[in-house]
Amino acid sequence: MANRRPAISEEQVSQPGLRVTLWRFPPGTETGWHRHEAAYVVVPVQGGTLTVENRRDGSDSTPYPIETGRSYARPEGIEHNIANDSDAEIAFVEIEML
């Protein structure tokens, strides 16, 4: 979706081996394309349905519901963009094991 604004990030902890960031996604915002250099855990604090855009053999876009308090983990690697194309704010804490 064109004309998205940047999501709001607040780095809360940064130390050797660990980075913790609060991400807030008002409607119409996105992280921008990025790739995680290490495995990470996401802790949703305000659930909803995000849009996950992946670059594998091209771009593909998938709705991804997240539930408040239900954490999930991802490995390092795939380049992606996370966006909020819904009408409600969504937020999560991202914990990267660097």
Per-residue pLDDT of the chain (98 residues; tens, 9 = 90+): 569 999 999 999 999 999 999 999 999 999 999 999 999 999 999 999 999 998 765 568 899 999 999 999 999 988 899 999 999 999 999 999 99
pLDDT at 1: 58
SS3 letters across 54-83: EECCCEEEEEEEECCCCCEEECCCCCEEEE
At which residue do the structure tokens 């960031």 appear? 21
Selection from 70, 75, 91 nearest residue 23 by Cα: 91
pLDDT at 56: 63
Q: What domains are defined for the chain?
A: 5-96 (2.60.120.10)
pLDDT at 60: 84
* Continuous segment of H or E residues that includes residue 48: strand 48-55
pLDDT at 2: 63
pLDDT at 14: 98
pLDDT at 78: 81
